[in-house]
Amino acid sequence: MSAVLRDLRGVHFDVLPPLSLYVHIPWCVRKCPYCDFNSHERSGSLPEAEYVAALFRDLEALLPSVWGRRLQSIFIGGGTPSLFSAESIDALLAGVRARLLVEPEAEITLEANPGTAEAARFRGYRQAGVNRLSLGVQSLQDAKLRALGRIHSAAEARRAVEMALAVFDNVNLDLMYGLPGQSEDEARADLEAGIALGTPHLSAYQLTLEPNTVFYSKPPQLPDHDACADMQRRAEETLARAGFEHYETSAFARPGRRSRHNLNYWEFGDYLGIGAGAHGKISFPERVTRHEQAKQPREYLKGASCAGIKTIDAAELPFEFMLNALRLVEGFAPALFTARTGLASTVIEAKLRQAEDKGLIERSAERIRPTERGRAFLNDLQQIFLP
């Protein structure tokens, strides 16, 4: 379709984007003081069977929006999904497969907390079809883990990674830097200890103070902005020397081990969101929509329905696309913009030129990518694309 026709018709897809599924499990043993996710301290045993039934209710309500499409990845996140038994995860994945086509090579990730790790449970998840485990280790120093309010020790984290690698060949380790009272040397030592554990994927996040958290109302002493920028730079150098490819702001992978599921978010693909507070994005031939499930687990379990499917205004799509795609260190192919927003590339030409003039992106026929300056001032770069 020509650019002129696209401009006249607004959103139009010749081929719909790849499709993923996000499943939210909203419970944790204890709420961490920095956490702003939709996670709730469990009290007593979890209503696993009722929750899985509610997940199927969500999925069935969304099915008419994705008839005939295949899932290329599933991500079971939270919260702490590893609080659920292997039997419940098996029932969940079997139920998803009964309702939707799942690609034979689909990446299926489950998030696990080292404080709830058990070898038999990990084997059960693998048998249920999970083929990638993501471990929320955060630090390998006991004092820092205590400062973060984590329920596990460094020794438990090491054991959990060993157990995970004995069962899964694809494991991600989440680490944080910029922790209370952390020096640059401590951050580097933590990262080196994480690399030594031998996972093929590592995510390194900066601790930030988010509204509605304990840390936000009673802020601990955190390293300043320059120290955190140095930690990030040194982390990138250390991981590159260790053979990891830096492919997104916080994500590092050995060759061939990039997360397919997360890449689909960053490349502005489609995803169904099921579970308390989960949200998703689905494209149709002439529009792009978002949906969000009821947030409170109690209301959610009582059957509160999806808060509704809303069409994203075409004028907002360029910003939404850039919010994700500009996090990719290698940027994106120019054709991806049209493939994922359904809009003509002409609608962003003036803004791309503006970003280029400011030295925030570089462009070739093959690639649009953030420069080093663009990565350092990512918010400023993304905001250029606001409607």
Residues interacting with ligand SF4, by CB under 6 A? 28, 31-32, 35, 37, 39, 78-80, 113, 136
What is the Cα–Cα distance from 79 to 286, expressed in whole angstroms?
35
- Cβ-based nearer residue to ligand SF4, 210 or 330: 210
- β-pair partners for 254: none
- Cβ-based nearer residue to ligand SF4, 37 or 284: 37
The residue written with tokens 């004092």 in the block is: 143
What is the Cα–Cα distance from 255 to 263, expressed in whole angstroms?
14
Give the count of beta carbons closer than 10 Å to the beta carbon of residue 311.
Answer: 12
Report residue 117 as tokens.
């790790």
- Cβ-based nearer residue to ligand SF4, 113 or 259: 113
Give the count of beta carbons closer than 10 Å to the beta carbon of residue 195.
Answer: 20
Give min distance, CB of 136 to ligand SF4, in A.
5
Give min distance, CB of 293 to ligand SF4, in A.
17
Give min distance, CB of 296 to ligand SF4, in A.
16
**Residue 285 amino acid letter:** P
Give min distance, CB of 212 to ligand SF4, in A.
12
CB-facing half-sphere around the CA of 210: CA atoms within 13 A? 10
- Cβ-based nearer residue to ligand SF4, 213 or 232: 213
Give min distance, CB of 111 to ligand SF4, in A.
8
Contacts of 283 (CB under 8 A, 6+ apart): 13, 16, 17, 270, 289, 340, 342
- Cβ-based nearer residue to ligand SF4, 6 or 152: 152
Give min distance, CB of 62 to ligand SF4, in A.
24
Contacts of 37 (CB under 8 A, 6+ apart): 78, 79
- Cβ-based nearer residue to ligand SF4, 78 or 223: 78
Largest CA distance in the chain: 61
- Cβ-based nearer residue to ligand SF4, 17 or 77: 77
- Cα four-point dihedral sign 251, 220, 218, 233: negative
Give min distance, CB of 286 to ligand SF4, in A.
37
Report residue 233 as tokens.
């730079």
